[in-house]
Amino acid sequence: EFVNAIRTVIPSIAESLKNAGSNVRSAAISSLGHLAEFVDTIRTVIPSIVECLKNADSDVRSAAISSLGKLAEFVDAIRTVIPSIVQCLKDADSDVRSAATSSLGNLGGRGESRPAEFVDAIRMAIPSILECLKDADWLARSTAISLLGKLAEFFDAIRTVIPSIAECIKDANSCVRCASVTTLKDLAKQTEFIDIIRVVAPTMTETLNADEYSIALFLFSCMLRPPSTNSNF
C-alpha cells in the first residue's frame, strides 16, 4: 500500500516542476531522482526534468542534472539528454558545472548493460570534460579530474588525457592536486595506463605537501610492481 501511495503522488511531484518557487522546483526534481524504482511513472516525467536544464535558477539546473544522473537505468530516455548535460559543463554557475561532471560520472559507470549509443555519447563527452580542468573554480576542476578516473573503460581516450591530469598536480589548490594524484593512482592499477603514467611520474612530486606526497609514493609503488600485482590494490 505504501508503494502504491508513493506511485500515486509522483504526478503531483512532477506538477511541482512548474511551481514559481525555485526551492519547490529543486525539491521536486531531487525527489524524482530518488524514485527510479517506479519505472513506468518516472519515465513519463523525464522530459519535464530535462526542461529544467534551461531554468533561469542555477539551483534548479543543478538539481535537474543530479536527478538525471541518478536515472541512468532509463538508458533510452537519458541517452538523448547526455549532450545537454555536457553543455552544462559550460554553465556560468560553478555549482551547475560541478553537478554536470558528477552526473556524467554516474552515467559513465553503470556497467556493461548499456547500449552502444549510450556508451558513445559518454565517450564523446570526454573532450568537454577535459576542458573543465581549466575551469576557474577549483571544485569544478577537482570533480572533472575524478570523473575522468571513473571513465577508465574508455582507455583509448583516457590515455590521451593522462598528461593533462598529471599537469593538475601543479595546481594552486590542494584539493585539485590530491584529486589528480588519487586519480592517477587508481589508473595505475590498470595495465593499459602504466606506460604513460611512468612517463609523467618524474614531474609529479615537486608541488605536493606531505599528505599528497604519501599518495604519490603509493602510486609509484603500484607502477614498480608487475602488472598482475597492481590489481590487488
pLDDT at position 89 is: 92
Does 213 map to a domain? yes
Three cell numbers, residue 29: 526534481
Block residue for cell numbers 598482475: 228
Does 226 map to a domain? yes
Residues of the chain with pLDDT under 70: 1-10, 19-20, 34-40, 73, 75-76, 109-115, 202-233
pLDDT at position 9 is: 67
pLDDT at position 192 is: 86
- In angstroms, the CA 171 to CA 191 distance is 27
Residue span of the structural domain in which 183 resides: 166-233
Does 74 map to a domain? no
Does 217 map to a domain? yes
Does 83 map to a domain? no
pLDDT at position 2 is: 47
Does 26 map to a domain? no
Does 88 map to a domain? no
Does 59 map to a domain? no
Q: What is the DSSP string of 193-204?
A: HHHHHHHHGGGS
The single-letter code of the amino acid at 76 is: D
Q: What is the DSSP string of 62-123?
A: HHHHHHHHHTTT-HHHHHTTHHHHHHGGG-SSHHHHHHHHHHHHHHHTS-TTS-HHHHHHHH
Block residue for cell numbers 511541482: 16
Block residue for cell numbers 572533472: 144
pLDDT at position 110 is: 55
- In angstroms, the CA 122 to CA 152 distance is 12
- In angstroms, the CA 103 to CA 109 distance is 10
Secondary-structure percent of the chain, ordered helix, strand, coil, rounded to 5: 80, 0, 20
Number of domains composing the chain: 1
Query: Which distant-in-sequence residues (6+ apart) come within 8 Å of 60 by Cβ?
Result: 22, 25, 26, 29, 52
